[in-house]
Amino acid sequence: MRSIIILGLTYNQVPLVKKVQEMGYRAVAVGVDGSTPIAAEHADQWCAIDTSDHQAVLDCARREDAAGLVTCGTSTAICTIASVNEALGLMVVSGRNISSNSFVH
């Protein structure tokens, strides 16, 4: 089963974890162990990785057969998501395609 990597471990990501699972993907939560890694408790897998560590997140995404990376409720992981999605050849958001209202595949 393919995975969706969800960056962040707070209560903000819990609905996203549940939606990913409803869609038939494994939900893999990524983030460092904070005082309350709530989303990790709901995810199928937890990778204790700093969400700003692009290479470590890329390694996790490859290992977990990621179909994509997402987040919600935080903007700190956006650069990592774009970088890793691009490295994997997945859809990414960039300044170029935001202004043209299209996505890169």
Least confident stretch, 36-50, 68-82, 88-102: 88-102
Distance of CA 50 to the CA centre of its chain: 12
Q: Per residue in 8-44, pLDDT tens?
A: 988 889 999 999 999 999 999 999 866 567 888 899 9
Q: Are 84 and 61 in contact (CB under 8 A)?
A: yes
Contact 35, 98 (CB under 8 A): no
Which domains does the chain possess? Answer: 3-100 (3.40.50.20)
Instruction: Measure the CA–CA gap between 19 and 51, rounded to whole angstroms.
Output: 21
pLDDT for 63 beyond 90: yes
The model's pTM is: 0.83
What is the distance, to the nearest Å, from the Cα of residue 64 to the centroid of all Cα atoms in its chain? Answer: 11
Helices (H) and strands (E) in the chain, counts: 5, 4
